[in-house]
Homo-oligomer: A and B are copies of this chain.
């Protein structure tokens, strides 16, 4: 291992970092089995099947690493740092190295808050503008396609793509942000942050389905990692594991991993909030209060695509969001959604209707994230139809986008993605 180039130096060795003791902050030395600690190592990366935390910070990075070995050192260092961060331990001071100063400290004194760190590889890691920068082009999974341009896309380049993704999830926003900052700092010279996005979930009192910013229950037919939902129904044909984890259908290095698609979806809340509830319900295809499909009483009642009103119109409108997104209307296609709401100040807008006033709009909406074993059979075909037909598009604008291959979990002593480099 080469330490000479200090600008490019990242972390000497995963083992060295993991073994070092924290200096400067009196953190507890042992974090095993503490409440609020999600294990970093395992068959799958944490942060996917993990019960969703209240806050996230999702970041995408461009790689500036000059070669494959620097990329490997980066991933080793990030994995070792993740072991410490998820256990609530600071990144240690290494005074012998000008690049490695002490942990920034904004998590000091706080619980780990169930922090998870989930890493992904974007298409450009394998090949960018025809360049095979890291000798990985031949290892690119067929499922890791570039997303097509969807109808209505208004993507801002500064919110799209990235060679690497890192998602921090935690019940405390300061913990999630701290982790990303530490990883960005440790990667200085090897990576450059491309974009970042914070998100939150509401506190749900019980295990009931949470409501999104549109005021509707969101996730009723989402596959359930806890196994409490009945599967094998038209609305839920396959279970969580079958929907999410790559198996023998993918390359060996991705088995036990998953593909993540993210979209930053701005919602015209100031418009939505002045739309009558019955119209909102036609758009969504569900009753607002109960979450039941239109015409039904129970939130979990199966979608009945054939039901019609006396006048022949479908009870569940053809353009309704629930209908278009359902497994039953998509030949059984499923994905696991694990998104967050976001809320970032406000932005200038002009009304699209009389009296065409200019004003401020909420820059708020959904940080959509979906995991699946193959986006070509899940997000892409499902959203291609929705992008054209979904009545909800009147209120939504997709402004950011990314797709990342999230490899399986790292074994103790190993690093995330290591099988890609064997």
- Please report A residues at the B interface, Cβ cutoff 8 Å: 24-26, 57, 59, 93, 101-111, 113, 158-159, 171-175, 177, 181-182, 184-185, 188, 192-198, 200-205, 208, 211-216, 269-270, 272-277, 288-289, 341, 343-346, 348, 357, 359-360, 362, 364
Chain B residue nearest to A103 (CB atoms) is: B215
Contact among B194, B344, B348 with A198 in the assembled complex (CB-CB below 8 Å): B344
Report whether B110 and A273 are in contact in the complex, using a CB–CB cutoff of 8 Å. no
Q: A277-B101, A344-B198 are in contact. Are A289 and B26 (CB under 8 A)?
A: yes
Q: A104-B215, A158-B348 are in contact. Are A110 and B202 (CB under 8 A)?
A: yes
Chain B residue nearest to A171 (CB atoms) is: B203
Contacts of A276 in B (CB 8 A): 101
Chain B residue nearest to A202 (CB atoms) is: B174
Q: List 29 A-B contacts (CB under 8 A).
A: A26-B289, A93-B277, A103-B215, A104-B214, A104-B272, A104-B273, A105-B277, A106-B202, A106-B211, A106-B213, A107-B202, A108-B215, A109-B211, A110-B204, A110-B211, A111-B203, A159-B345, A173-B200, A174-B201, A174-B341, A177-B364, A181-B270, A185-B273, A195-B345, A195-B346, A196-B345, A196-B346, A196-B360, A198-B345
Report whether A172 and B211 are in contact in the complex, using a CB–CB cutoff of 8 Å. no
Contact among B24, B175, B213, B357 with A277 in the assembled complex (CB-CB below 8 Å): B24
Q: How far apart are the CA atoms of A172 and B171 in the complex, in Å?
A: 11
Contact among B159, B177, B192 with A213 in the assembled complex (CB-CB below 8 Å): B177
Q: How far apart are the CA atoms of A153 and B348 in the complex, in Å?
A: 22
Chain B residue nearest to A276 (CB atoms) is: B101
Contacts of A201 in B (CB 8 A): 174
Q: A106-B213, A277-B102 are in contact. Are A359 and B192 (CB under 8 A)?
A: yes
Q: Which among A93, A105, A159, A198 has the greatest number of chain B C-beta atoms within 10 A?
A: A105
Contacts of A341 in B (CB 8 A): 174
Report whether A181 and B362 are in contact in the complex, using a CB–CB cutoff of 8 Å. yes
Contacts of A205 in B (CB 8 A): 109-111
Chain B residue nearest to A214 (CB atoms) is: B106
Contacts of A113 in B (CB 8 A): 203
Contacts of A188 in B (CB 8 A): 274
Q: How far apart are the CA atoms of A273 and B184 in the complex, in Å?
A: 9
Contacts of A192 in B (CB 8 A): 357, 359-360
Chain B residue nearest to A95 (CB atoms) is: B276
Q: How far apart are the CA atoms of A248 and B359 in the complex, in Å?
A: 39
Chain B residue nearest to A400 (CB atoms) is: B345
